[in-house]
């Protein structure tokens, strides 16, 4: 009985893994049940024994992909000492995010890839997780600002969008075997915290005035 259950579970996992990989490579509409089946070593019709539809399959992949990142980052942060400073928190979160993308690999990659191609209904169902993740970051940033570790004039929400955007886009160029996760995480954290500018150079009183001098385009 345990073996039977195991067999079913194994097949289901095989299908899921195959789906993640294929979705990641071809996007939502570009993926066919047949291709997934081939990858999972069974016939297209057989997928339906495990998943009721293509949509249910992509849903499962999305869930795993989102949870992977969310949970990995969450745990990594929880593992930090209570008195960890911002730099540590942010670098840790970034490193965890990148790790998740590598480890759970296909799932997170597939998630980034197909979100936005997937039927509205499915995307909506996945929004909560996305929002949770956004909240996680927002909290880190807001806390840091409260504790006085951030510039008081920083727009936290915009900064979060900037950071998460950069992290999400990561899947478009990050390839295992190239740069180290640590290397990337370290550098990204540096940009986020210190910027690229030379310490002394920072925002002279004149600078903002200059910036304001350029005509504002309102949209």
Q: At 81, phi and psi to the nearest 5?
A: -60, 150
Task: Pick one of 5, 146, 176, 209: the residue that binds a copy of itself (CB under 8 A).
Answer: 176
| Alpha-carbon distances of 85 from 35, 90, 140, rounded to whole Å | 47, 9, 11
Rounded to whole angstroms, the Cα distance separating 40 from 31 reads 14
- The residue among 51, 44, 43, 45 whose CA lies nearest residue 12 is 51
Which residues inside 185-204 make contact with a copy of itself, applying CB under 8 A?
Answer: 186-199, 201-203
Residue 73 binding partner per list DNA, a copy of itself, none, with a CB distance cut-off of 5 to 8 Å that depends on partner kind:
none
Say if residues 160 and 86 touch (Cβ distance below 8 Å). Answer: no
DSSP 41: T
The piece of 4-12, 14-22, 34-42, 167-175 that touches a copy of itself (CB under 8 A) is 167-175
The piece of 5-13, 21-29, 53-61, 67-75 that touches a copy of itself (CB under 8 A) is 21-29
Which residues inside 35-74 make contact with a copy of itself, applying CB under 8 A?
Answer: none
DSSP 71: H
Which residues inside 27-86 make contact with DNA, applying CB under 7 A?
Answer: 31-34, 37, 42-46, 48-50, 52-55
The piece of 13-21, 40-48, 63-71, 173-181 that touches a copy of itself (CB under 8 A) is 173-181
Residue 167 binding partner per list a copy of itself, DNA, none, with a CB distance cut-off of 5 to 8 Å that depends on partner kind:
a copy of itself
75 is a site residue for a copy of itself (CB under 8 A) = no
Rounded to whole angstroms, the Cα distance separating 188 from 94 reads 8
Judged by DSSP in three states, 217 sits in coil
- The residue among 98, 52, 96 whose CA lies nearest residue 77 is 96
151 is a site residue for a copy of itself (CB under 8 A) = yes
Binding residues for DNA, rule: CB under 7 A, are 3-8, 11, 31-34, 37, 42-46, 48-50, 52-55
């Amino acid at each position: 009985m345990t073996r039977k259950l195991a067999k079913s579970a194994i097949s289901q996992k095989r299908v899921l893994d195959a789906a993640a990989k294929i979705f990641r490579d071809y996007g939502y509409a570009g993926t066919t049940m047949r291709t997934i089946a081939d990858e999972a070593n069974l016939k297209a019709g057989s997928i339906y024994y495990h998943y009721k539809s293509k949509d249910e399959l992509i849903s499962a992949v999305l869930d795993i992909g989102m949870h992977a990142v969310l949970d990995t980052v969450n745990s990594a942060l929880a593992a930090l000492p209570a008195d960890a400073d911002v730099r540590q928190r942010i670098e840790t979160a970034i490193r965890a995010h990148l790790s998740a993308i590598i480890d759970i690999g296909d799932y997170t990659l597939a998630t980034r890839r197909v979100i936005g191609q997937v039927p509205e209904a499915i995307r909506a169902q996945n929004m909560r997780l996305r929002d949770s993740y956004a909240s996680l970051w927002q909290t880190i940033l807001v806390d840091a600002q409260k504790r006085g570790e951030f510039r008081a004039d920083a727009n936290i929400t915009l900064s979060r969008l900037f950071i998460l955007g950069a992290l999400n886009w990561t899947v478009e160029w990050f390839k295992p075997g190239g740069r180290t996760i640590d290397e990337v995480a370290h550098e990204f954290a540096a940009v986020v915290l210190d910027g690229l500018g030379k310490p002394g150079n920072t925002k002279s009183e004149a600078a903002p005035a200059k910036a304001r001098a350029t005509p504002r385009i309102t949209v």
